[in-house]
Structure 1
Amino acid sequence: MPPSPTVILHTDKPAPALGVLRETHPQLAVHTCDTYADLPGTIERTGAEVVYTVRFDGTPRFPRQALVESDKVKWVSVGGSGTDHLGCWDPARLTVTNAAGVAADMLAEYALGAMLSFSLDLRGFERRQRARSWTAGRIEPIEGKTLLIIGLGKTGEAVARRAQAMGMVTLGIRARPKQMQYMDEVHGPDALYDLFGLADYVVCCLPLLPYTRGMLDASAFAAMKPSAVLVDISRGGIVEESALLSALDSGRLRGAALDVFATEPLPGDHPLWGYDNVIVTPHCAAVYDGWDVKSVRMFACNLTRYLNGEPLENVVDPARGY
């Protein structure tokens, strides 16, 4: 391994990232690239073997081939947690790491806020306020309610910690079940449908993988309580949107808070915009002031390990997707 690899910072806001690396690794040659279109040429021109990259302009146009098929790039550090936009890669030739956990706390706060919005009927109070109607709404405690968390990575753990502090019963699904702090019960995927019927709130924290795509389909919604609320902070494509719409229309679901969608931006004529019992946010639950600097600092720590020939943290297994 060359002692001083060339690094590319592929982000639409390169200045903060560049500032971090100038502070932590001033000896390295660092280049910036702030468009998808220019990344292949930047890799070819610089011969960079390390690329820190953020999916800042959606998935369809992301220049994955420039990264996963390059004969120069040896390590791709993804600035977020999801790596589905990279597709498949050969782990014998390319190492991919992510910034798992960089937004876990923010995502967990979003999930808790969404659940509280429904338990306190905040949208109902908003409608009555606009109508200047002094009418009591129906509020209920979140304490004692049962939460099902699908996916117990760093985000799922952060959700569980907050939910248990609020007095909720926490149930979880994990590919490799084991007892975990803040969880009352942890089960394997085979138990999912049994747990649906117990949950007042369902929070989806899964990566998008071939076996998770469309996981929340018509049969999943049929297994849930009609009083259940879905919170999706995962990836678009895990929830089958046509099945979700049917569940909402038929009263098989109390409501949903959705930060991710199969097509992003969500088309203006999409039916989900029109539901009073659906919260729509534009894939922003993980975006908070300072997340980009925190992510780059995680990369900088890993870069030190890379330079020292030490094992990298947060290496992603392409077969598992995390």
Structure 2
Amino acid sequence: MRILVTHPWSDPSASWDIALEHLPGWELQVCREDEILQHLDGVDVLVPMPNVVSREIIGAGSFGLIQQYGVGLERVDVEAATDAGVWVARLPAGLTGNADSVAELAVAQILMAVRRMDEARAAVARGWWQPISGSLIGSTVAIVGLGSIGTALAQRLSGFGCRMIGVRAHPEAGGPGSVEKVVGPAELPAVLAEADVVICSAMASPETRHLFGATTFAACKPGAVFINVARGVMVDQDALLAALDSGQLSWAGLDVFQSEPLPQQHALADHPRVIATPHIGGLTRSMLARSAELFGQNVLRWQRGEPPLWAVNHPPRPRPAPIPPRRTSASAETPS
């Protein structure tokens, strides 16, 4: 019984062994994205992480479950998986602590931008120039996407004395009590015009690709701060750069990018008005530990022949799950 994870940790202190803590008897292999096809033999469960799982990969393997160790499945060919009898499941951000961890990072990026922390740190090195910054007190914050991450953000920002407006696909679902009002996507331009801080925390989909582009940034309040902790494909990076260089946006905090890793020479990597982090929003020890528990439970559920929880498909003819080895009792002692 074997799991293949297609994403080695770059942090030497991290180990994928945590994923086996609730899966006795299972083995785990780790490979790079370009090595997936060479490591599929005997694999029962595939963990894609940020990598592409194509029709070719699905057809080359015999695995019956693609289980994400998080939420994102936009690079998995779900239609091909369904056709091949492979379940595809995620772990909800609200249950793993992912949403809380991402929200923490978003708040940190907001504060770094609003309080001009990069400039303040540089000021000390240059001889104590004191930059005067903004504050969240009395500001207006737009949270675009009020799912698990957006809700966790609103909860954390409620103590900062700011006014919050939520934008979501289904505004009738409402939001946390700390959010003053919740509107639909049609009202996004009007919300942007009054927001000092704009946070993208929505779910990526074909409909939200480049949701933030030249027209959207032009609708922002001049000098606004833009934060993206959702997915890189939701932002037109060329339009973002233009908005930063023109001063339409004062700062951007980015934890996600269209292409990851972000090329070292990319203009966003060392832009003086960009706080860039390498997609670490959800990568906390508490999130990894809770995810290991839910991951193990869902794999064992699938192994028992039950549909996995949080599946995004329902293959009509699922591939068989591995059968656990039969336990043998110790042989009886022969009487003398």
Shared topology, TM-score over 0.5? yes
Aligned pairs (5 A) from 1:150-229: 150-177=144-171, 178-181=173-176, 182-229=178-225
SS in 2 for 1:285: coil
Provide, for residues 124-153 of structure 1, a one-character-per-residue CA deviation record: whole Å limited to 9, x for no partner: 2112111113x3321333123221111222
Which structure ranks higher in relative contact order (CA pairs < 8 Å, sequence separation ≥ 6)? 2
Structure 1 match to 2:27: 30
Relative to the length of structure 2, the TM-score reads 0.79
Q: Structure 1 counterpart of 2:74, which letter?
A: D
Mean Cα deviation higher: 205-214 or 234-243:
205-214
CA distance change for structure 1 residues 259 and 31 in 2, over 3 Å: closer, same or farther?
closer
Measure how far apart 1:159 and its partner are.
0.9
- Structure 1 position 196, deviation (Å): 1.0
**Alpha-carbon separation, structure 1, partners of 2:206 and 2:33:** 25
Structure 1 position 87, deviation (Å): 3.8
Partners of 1:127 and 1:234 in 2: how far apart? Answer: 29
Cα-Cα RMSD:
2.6
Contact 1:39 1:63 in 2 (8 A): no
Q: CA 1:67 to 1:293, structure 2 compared with 1: closer, same or farther past 3 Å?
A: farther
In the alignment, what sits opposite 2:310? Answer: 314
1:64-79 equivalent positions in 2, closer than 5 A: 64-65=54-55, 67-69=57-59, 72-79=62-69
Output the CA distance in 2 between the equivalents of 1:129 and 1:317.
Answer: 54
Moved more, 176-185 or 245-254: 176-185
Q: What secondary structure is seen at the aligned counterpart in 1 of 2:207? A: coil
Bigger Rg over Cα: 2
Matches within 5 A, 1:1-322: 6-10=1-5, 11-12=7-8, 16-18=15-17, 20-21=19-20, 23-26=21-24, 28-43=25-40, 45-46=41-42, 48-55=43-50, 59=51, 62-65=52-55, 67-69=57-59, 72-90=62-80, 91=82, 93-101=85-93, 102=96, 103-133=98-128, 135-177=129-171, 178-181=173-176, 182-289=178-285, 291-316=287-312
Contact 2:166 2:175 survives alignment (8 Å): no
Q: CA deviation at 1:38?
A: 4.1
Q: Deviations along 1:170-208, whole A, 9 cap, x unmatched?
A: 222222221222432222222211211121111112333
Q: CA deviation at 1:41?
A: 4.1
Kept in 2: contact 1:9–1:51 (CA 8 A): yes
The aligned amino acid for 2:196 is: D
Structure 1 consecutive aligned stretches of length 4 or more whose deviation exceeds 6 Å: none
How many angstroms apart in 2 are the aligned matches of 1:303 and 1:267?
Answer: 35
How far apart, in 2, do the equivalents of 1:17 and 1:269 lie? Answer: 30
Q: Distance in 1 between matches of 2:57 and 2:289?
A: 22
SS of 2:66's equivalent? Answer: strand
Secondary structure (helix, strand or coil) at the match of 1:109 reads helix
In the TM superposition, what is the alpha-carbon distance from 1:20 to its structure 2 partner? 4.8
Residue 86 of structure 1 aligns to a residue in which SS?
coil
Output the CA distance in 2 between the equivalents of 1:115 and 1:20. Answer: 32
Q: Give the secondary-structure state (helix, strand or coil) at the position aligned to 1:211.
A: helix
1:64-89 Cα offsets, whole Å, 9 max, x none, are: 34554457333211112211221442
TM-score for both structures, normalised by structure 1: 0.83
Of the structure 1 ranges 206-215 and 308-317, higher mean CA displacement relative to structure 2 is found in 308-317
The aligned residue for residue 330 of structure 2 is none
Unpaired runs of 5+ residues, structure 1, are: 1-5
Tell me if structure 2 keeps the 8 A contact 1:17–1:292.
no
Structure 2 unaligned segments of length 5 or more: list them.
315-336
CA distance in 2, matches of 1:192, 1:222: 12
C-alpha distance in 1 between matches for 2:18 and 2:61? 28
Is the 8 Å Cα contact of residues 78 and 88 (structure 2) preserved in structure 1? no
Amino acid at match of 2:164: T
Counterpart in 1 of 2:320? none
List per-residue Cα deviations over 1:20-75 (Å, max 9, x = no partner): 53x5332x5434233334433443x21x44333433xxx4xx45345544573332
Query: Which residue identity is paired with 1:25?
Result: L
